[in-house]
Structure 1
């Protein structure tokens, strides 16, 4: 008894393409290829990248912290007060008069230095005002020393450092309401300048 031999073609091979639902149709993509416009599993695919909220630059960019360096502000304010005192004293020694604009300049120099480098710390305007008072005081003492040095055989440094108490006594005797006014003006200018330059 002989074993039947199966036909050479498989059963589905003999079917026409129209009868095979899995056969590729002309103009259709092959199985496994993504169809145009079909979702790929990414819900955001095909969308344009969105920028920062409200039309800004980089999304959620960190905000730079307000600069505040009290130590640096105090240091530069003190140095500025000493420099301004030297200029103020030289003006007084040369003119033998206290000039109001020079006192304003002392406050402006101190306030600008403190605010520009110290930042927005609320203590800096007060500190710069105190340093402006110190600058005016030392400037007036230096001016007195320069004037006295022209009358005595002593140098300015000798009068300022070796005879400071006598120099301070002479300064008190020569001070008047205008001298006090210059102190107040310098402190006010330093206070306001510090606040303006720190913004």
Structure 2
């Protein structure tokens, strides 16, 4: 029964509104071994503080050039470390940093982690999300209610699936793909 309810909830999340408003749509241009555009409908009604922080960082250009440092086949692609994840720099510590903005209190919801869902990365402290986020390749019910859902991919999921996967420990990627630019659609 739980599996059926989770699948139904995932369908509802993925169906969502036909068109997200431009103020709450993130446009990511991916570059590297994979090139293309990914659009994400942000969910301010679900996670208003996290969405506001992502938009602030995008508008300041902080996500531009940040690598997908942790990519695990069949699970997710993680990016957004604006402190240590800049392409062309020393990315050995990518995944350990955030932004100069404060960490955020968790905004957990009942939305399930299924393909295309965007969640905030955090440490073991539920109130430690900052700038890093991940995009799901598939469902991961063990994340439900444990991480903040901030959006869902509405276009470009084929680009997400093509992001270079990690072979290293814990999905670490050598020569990673990166976010060439991240913009709020209303600003384009």
The structure in which a higher percent of residues are helix is 1
Question: Highest Rg: 1 or 2?
Answer: 1
TM-score by length of 2: 0.19
TM-score by length of 1: 0.18
